[in-house]
Each structure stands twice: as C-alpha cells, then as structure tokens.
Amino acid sequence: EELRVRTGPSIELHQTAPGEISVPKEIKGDMNGQGLHVAIVVARFNEIITRKLLDSAVETLVRHGVRDEDISVSWVPGAFELPVIAKTLAKTGRYQAVICLGAVIRGETSHYDMVAGQAASGISSVALETGVPTIFGVLTTENMEQALNLAGGTAGNMGANTAVAAIETARLIEAANTA
C-alpha cells in the first residue's frame, strides 16, 4: 500500500514500500556567482537614486563571487530606454543575466504610467525573447522619499535584490538545462 504525505502546498512524498520514499525532483538555483557574466543597464534619469541601486547591485554580485571584470555597466538616458539595450546585451550571448535599474517617480514626470509600464513590459519581453534572465529593478514610486528609502534607506536597497535574483535565476536556468 502506498503512503502519501504532504509536506507543503506542492510537495508530496510517496512511500512505495516500507523504508522507501520517493520525492519529486526539485530543480534549484544556487547563490554562487563565480563564473557568471552579468550586464547591468542603468537609467541616468534620477541618477541620485539609480547610482545607489547600481552600487548595491555590484557590491552584492561581487560578494556572491562574480568578478568585477565580469560585470558590465551601460548607462541609458532613462527607464524607457532600458529594454532595447538590455536586449542588445542579452543577444550577444556573453551574459548569463542582465539587470535593469531605474527610478520612475510619479511626482517627477507627467508620463509616469506610460514610462513605468513600457519599461516593465519591455524588460519582461527581453527575458522571454532571449532566454536570458532580465531582472526588473526599476523603482516606481510616488515621490523621491519613497525612492530613497528603496535605494538604501529604511526599506533596504532594491539593487541588492536584483543582484540576488540575477544570480539565482541564471543558476536555475543552468540547472534546468542540465537536469
């Protein structure tokens, strides 16, 4: 008789014979950045914010083993231009991940919704079209105070989060391709 045990919302263990338990194969990405090549595309608009995001992303990548010389940084005028450069870099085949950093602040621009929406849609499209993890690190806030809080203030630094997501997703793709 088979014994079934639920360990969480999606993992179920099966005991097919006494002492034998089969477990679904789980594919995971680790946090080892050694050997990864990462491109970072940064919007110059709101540079007081995006520079902090960049510094944190680079620091986090290096802390996880990515070498400085394996990180490339490209500056674009604003968040709207992030996807085209991200796609260009992803298509070279030289990078296992691309991080896009920007800050769209509602109070700073009258076309906030259009810029934020197009940046998000474009960045997502790059990942789906190229297969290269393209990480969305564009802050979309109501005001400068919120942006500062997300760029190293009271809410941490989104730049670090994007670096962690880039490493883990790149490694997960590697694991999936070799599973």
Tens digits of per-residue pLDDT, 28-61?
A: 888 999 999 999 999 999 999 999 999 999 999 9
Q: Which residue has the tokens 């190229």?
A: 130
| Interatomic CA distance for residues 148 and 135, integer angstroms | 20
pTM score: 0.86
| Stretch 91-113: mean pLDDT | 90
**Residue 14 is among the residues annotated as catalytic for this protein:** no
Is the pLDDT at 1 greater than 60? The verdict is no
**Is the CB of residue 119 less than 8 Å from the CB of residue 101?**
no
Q: What is the structure's pLDDT at 6?
A: 52
> Starting from the edge strand earliest in sequence, which strands make up the sheet with 3-6, in order?
3-6, 12-17, 20-22
| Interatomic CA distance for residues 49 and 167, integer angstroms | 23
| Stretch 83-90: mean pLDDT | 98
